[in-house]
Amino acid sequence: MQMKDIPFGTTDWESIKKVEYKGESGSAFWRTKQCATIRVRMVEYTAGYKADHWCQKGHILLCLEGELYTELENGEVHLLKAGMSYEVADNTMAHRSYTSVGAKLFIVD
């Protein structure tokens, strides 16, 4: 990832409209800011959320609140708690997430 053509700026995430994305169960609410070719998001998953697809996109993801399980296509499951992150490159490891208690995430991709 090369970050270029992004001027200095600050973001009030509460001022960015939430967009709902339904999962297999529960919902994800995204607040998204596009910074040139980099997408930056604040994402909140409701309790009981489970993704409805396997994702191939690379992310740098920081769990701010709650707990998030990320399942890899090979069967591995990883638990993130507040203060933990994961990093994965595009098209390297299909993954999907779920949470029983809800989670708030900061994601760069």
100: tokens are 């029983």
pLDDT at 4: 87
Give every CB contact of residue 76 below 8 A, 6+ residues apart in sequence: none
pTM above 0.85, yes or no: yes
Mean pLDDT over 19-32 rounds to 98
**pLDDT score at 1:** 64
Summary mean pLDDT of the chain: 96
Domains of the chain: 18-108 (2.60.120.10)
pLDDT digits (tens, 9 = 90+) for 67-99: 999 999 999 999 999 999 999 999 999 999 999
Confidence band, pLDDT 50/70/90 cuts, at residue 2:
confident
